[in-house]
């Protein structure tokens, strides 16, 4: 049986090779190009040489550090916020009711809205002469419009990220929650577990894999986001995607931009994996209490 199994996997690998091989080849080429460029190659300005000078400059750049921790904070809060906001809707829609499909479709509308369009809509809403300030003035809460656009804490970006990514988390979590049998909830309720206890000890452990997947994908997307940051983000600090683009286009330093890109990839990889691990630890500890 073992040779048969090996032949089966070999056939599957050959079937996937034309599509998957091309994708992996392009990804490997891009990553290699970024690594080489961060080490002094392909600068397109003068002579290329292998060097760590660009990495040393990044390590001493205060602007880069601010961008790094800003992007890390936005990505972490966006991932946790989107999943936390999705869970109440998932539990509400777990059992079909009249109008549940329509409500589910409405909640998924942000998936159909391009990020750049969503950012401009948000800007129009909170701008100095936007609908938000207009409404507050009409009901007498404020006398003059508030200046809340491009706030330095990135609140607007966080709102946009959570709003945009929540439906994606909803899709992943819905299937996991619906796979939990009603008999499990009934048994827990008969044992005296309240709604909060059933959620902590049943729902969270059984949907952990879907929750981790949602957080990882949302974290990576939010860390590398550009459109929300440019339109609704703060003027300082830059996100890492903004800083990389500004460094390449304004400063013309492709090697330095490549280092920022590599650091963005490293942050996305290790940050998302760390977040998934912390979520697993928190859920396991909570479920055993």
Query: What is the reported pLDDT for 148?
Result: 72
Q: Are residues 6 and 111 in the same domain?
A: no
Q: What is the mean pLDDT of residues 69-81?
A: 95
Q: Domain for residue 1, yes or no?
A: yes
Query: What is the reported pLDDT for 1?
Result: 43
Q: Are residues 234 and 115 in the same domain?
A: yes
Q: Are residues 137 and 190 in the same domain?
A: yes
Q: Are residues 71 and 190 in the same domain?
A: yes
165 within 8 A of 221, measured Cβ to Cβ:
yes
Q: Are residues 111 and 207 in the same domain?
A: yes
Q: Domain for residue 45, yes or no?
A: no
Q: How many domains does the chain have?
A: 2
Q: Are residues 158 and 229 in the same domain?
A: yes
Q: Domain for residue 44, yes or no?
A: no
Q: Domain for residue 192, yes or no?
A: yes
The whole-angstrom separation of Cα 158 and Cα 164 is: 10
Q: Are residues 158 and 205 in the same domain?
A: yes
Q: Are residues 188 and 270 in the same domain?
A: yes
- State the maximum Cα–Cα separation within the chain, in Å, rounded to a whole number: 80
149 within 8 A of 127, measured Cβ to Cβ:
yes
The pTM of this model reads: 0.85
Of all residues in the chain, the percent with pLDDT exceeding 90 is 31
Q: Domain for residue 277, yes or no?
A: yes
Q: Are residues 221 and 269 in the same domain?
A: yes
Q: Are residues 84 and 21 in the same domain?
A: no
Q: Give the domain CATH number at 216.
A: 1.10.3720.10
The whole-angstrom separation of Cα 126 and Cα 130 is: 5
| Mean pLDDT value across the chain | 85
Q: Domain for residue 46, yes or no?
A: no
Q: Is the pLDDT of residue 45 over 70?
A: no
10 Å CB burial of residue 164 (0-12, 13-18, 19+) is buried
Q: Are residues 68 and 6 in the same domain?
A: no
Q: Domain for residue 251, yes or no?
A: yes
The whole-angstrom separation of Cα 90 and Cα 84 is: 10
Q: Is the pLDDT of residue 197 over 50?
A: yes
Q: Are residues 32 and 68 in the same domain?
A: no
The whole-angstrom separation of Cα 219 and Cα 213 is: 10
Query: What is the reported pLDDT for 18?
Result: 74
Domain that holds residue 30: 1-38
Query: What is the reported pLDDT for 168?
Result: 92
Helix/strand/coil percentages in the chain, nearest 5: 75, 0, 25
Q: Domain for residue 43, yes or no?
A: no
pLDDT tens digit string along 125-170? 888 778 888 888 888 888 887 777 777 788 888 988 999 999 999 9
- Extract the tokens encoding 230: 């440019």
Q: What is the mean pLDDT of residues 56-84?
A: 92
Query: What is the reported pLDDT for 8?
Result: 66
Segment among 15-19, 82-86, 110-114 with least mean pLDDT: 15-19
């Amino acid at each position: 049986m073992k040779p048969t199994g090996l032949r089966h996997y070999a056939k599957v690998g050959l079937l996937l090779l034309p599509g998957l091989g091309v994708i992996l080849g392009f990804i490997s080429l891009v990553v290699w190009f970024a690594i080489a460029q961060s080490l002094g190659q392909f600068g397109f300005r003068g002579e290329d040489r292998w060097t760590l000078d660009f990495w040393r400059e990044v390590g001493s750049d205060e602007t880069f550090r601010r961008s790094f921790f800003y992007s890390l904070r936005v990505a972490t809060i966006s991932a946790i916020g989107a999943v936390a906001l999705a869970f109440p809707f998932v539990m509400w829609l777990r059992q079909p009711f009249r109008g549940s499909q329509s409500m589910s479709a409405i909640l998924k509308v942000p998936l159909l809205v391009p990020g750049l369009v969503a950012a401009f809509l948000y800007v129009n809403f909170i701008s100095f002469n936007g609908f938000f300030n207009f409404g507050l003035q009409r009901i007498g809460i404020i006398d003059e419009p508030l200046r809340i656009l491009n706030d330095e804490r990135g609140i607007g970006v966080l709102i946009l990220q959570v709003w945009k990514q929540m439906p994606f988390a909803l899709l992943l979590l819905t299937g996991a929650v619906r796979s939990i049998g009603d008999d499990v909830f009934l048994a827990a309720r008969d044992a005296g577990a309240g709604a909060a206890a059933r959620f902590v000890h049943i729902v969270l452990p059984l949907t952990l894999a879907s929750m981790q997947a949602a957080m990882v994908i949302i974290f990576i997307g939010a860390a590398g986001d550009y459109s929300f940051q440019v339109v609704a983000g703060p003027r300082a600090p830059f996100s890492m995607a903004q800083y990389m683009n500004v460094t390449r286009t304004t400063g013309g330093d492709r090697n330095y931009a490549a280092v920022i890109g590599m650091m963005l990839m490293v942050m996305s990889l290790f940050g998302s994996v760390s977040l998934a691990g912390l979520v697993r630890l928190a859920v396991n500890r909570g479920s055993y209490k």
